[in-house]
Amino acid sequence: MAEQEVSIDAVMSRRFELVEQAAIIAGRHKAELEPLNEELRLCEMFIKDEMNKGGLQQVKTDAGMAYFTTKDSVKVGDWESTLAFIREKGAYYLLNQAVNKTACKEFIEANKIAPPGVEYVSFRDLAWRRGKG
C-alpha cells in the first residue's frame, strides 16, 4: 500500500469535521439524557419533601439512604467594606492567596518583571478558526 501524502489543509479540514461530529453526538447525548435528568430531579425533590415533612435528617431503606448535608457558599457584596474590616481586624486569613492574572500581565508589560513573589508563565497554544471554504 502506497503512503498517502498528508497536508496541513487536509488535517485541519478533518479536525473541523471531527469537531462537528463530536458536537452532533454531544447534542444527541444531551437530548437523550434530558428526560432521565428530569425524572432524577423529580425523585430527589420527592424524597427531600418527604424528609422535610417528617422532620428527618436521614432516611434509610432497602434501596439505599438519603441524608441532608450542609453546603456553604461565600460571596462578597461590598468589597470596600470587607477589605476595610480585614485591614482593621488584621483578618487576612479571610483572603485567598491569588493575584489577578490580567492585572499581573499588565504589570509585567509595564515593568518588564513580575511582581515580587509571583510566578508568571506564558505559553503558546494552538487555537482554531474554521475557513470560509
Q: Where are the domains of the chain?
A: 8-67, 79-111
Closest CA to 120 of 108, 132, 110, 133: 108
Closest CA to 98 of 115, 77, 80, 75: 115
Rounded CA-CA distance 45/60 in Å is 16
How would residue 72 be classed by pLDDT, with cut points 50, 70 and 90?
very high
Does the pLDDT at position 1 exceed 60? Answer: no
Rounded CA-CA distance 126/3 in Å is 27
Which residue is listed with cell 422532620? 55
Q: Is 113 helix (H, G, I), strand (E, B) or coil?
A: coil
Rounded CA-CA distance 44/42 in Å is 5
pLDDT tens digit string along 97-120? 999 999 999 999 999 999 999 999
